[in-house]
Amino acid sequence: MKYIFYISLFFILYIYFGYPLLLFIKSVFKKNRSDTSDNYLPLVSIIIAAYNEEKVIEDKIKNTLNLNYPKEKLEIIVFSDSSSDQTDDIVKMYEKDGIKLLRIEGRKGKTFCQNRAVEEVKGEIIVFSDANSMYKRDAVRKLVRNFADERIGCVSGELKYINSANKKDENSEGIYWKYEQIIKKLESKVSSLVGANGAIYAVRKKLYVPLEDFAISDFAEPLMIFEKGYRVIYEAEALAFEINDDTFKDSYSRRVRIVTRTFNNIIRSSEILELFNPIKYGWYSIQLVSHKLLRWFTGLFMFILLLLNIILAKESWVYATILILQLLFYLAALLGFLNQKFFPKKEGRLLNYIFYFCLSNIAMLNGIINAVLKNKIITWDTKR
């Protein structure tokens, strides 16, 4: 029992503190440098994912047309996954500006639509974007400059979440993303990313691999490209911004959906499963296990730790102290929940962050259970 207690405690500490520290130490001794060139300007195709995006699609089109990439080398296509609102009509208004609409009937899901859109485009480099992701003017240039290095197969940009009330990236999910960005920067330095950001990432078209419709493309596609022998890197200066006023229920649902689809990818794809073989893929396998697999099981480790701690508390003051700290932590999470429920517009509080941490870990465990039970999530809903 004690062994299981300490193993659970070790994994929790390793996932959130040990792994980042290990990455940092490794980055000091090993840095995979890549060549960049601001003069590298190939034909680029931007694929924008849309489903019932009438409230934001015009802003997104204007934002894309305003990018400082050469117009003659920029192809823009919006795929509409059987939108039932005015999305398609708004896109058609900009056909004269070169915007192409690809409507796909029957609600096929983002990955299916993405596969179809890739068949239509001509660009050497493909940039994938969401309809509500607004790019900084030089974002595409910053992404593309990395492909001057032939070893680079995929580049992920940086997404910043903005709270509409104060226009600052201060919400609880924003803190999570800041932590993720640190991890990605370190992974990019020492090896390759174990996934990209669906709001802003680019791939070489010749390397694109059509995916199963249940796959989450910004996770699976970079892995497939790495498996081909190319690097997947992080470009911190390629910025995208999204308004995020989601409630904790929205955040929970999104996390469940992401992990369900990602874990489905792993257990149903022999190519991805092979990447977990450290004998063949070395450090990259450690990244996959540490950054993805173990983190998704954090909720289980936390439950085991608390349960065993209650049983062991009477044995010594050490166990009793750890139990008190755990109970205080979960009390803080409960207070964070109450704060979010009754004062949802108040952000930046430690209680909210603790609550969001617990909520995320419960959601990730729920996602794993969904995947194991063979529940597939293919389509997505728009909340705007």
pLDDT at 210: 94
Which percentage of the chain shows pLDDT scores above 90?
A: 72
pLDDT digits (tens, 9 = 90+) for 284-296: 999 999 999 999 9
DSSP annotation of 39 reads T
Residue 264 — pLDDT band, cuts 50, 70, 90? Answer: confident
CA 189 to chain centre: 18
Asked if residues 5 and 312 have their Cβ atoms less than 8 Å apart, the reply is yes
Check residues 97 and 352 and name the one with the higher pLDDT.
97
Please tell me the least confidently modeled range out of 6-10, 49-53, 254-258: 254-258
pTM of the model: 0.89
pLDDT at 22: 94
**Which has the closest alpha carbon to 220: 114, 212, 371?**
212
Domains of the chain with bracketed CATH: 44-251 (3.90.550.10)
Residue 305 predicted with pLDDT over 80: yes
Residue 261 — pLDDT band, cuts 50, 70, 90? Answer: confident
Block residue for tokens 């969904």: 370
Asked if residues 149 and 233 have their Cβ atoms less than 8 Å apart, the reply is no
Tokens of 380: 């997505």
Count other Cβ atoms within 10 Å, centred on residue 95.
Answer: 10
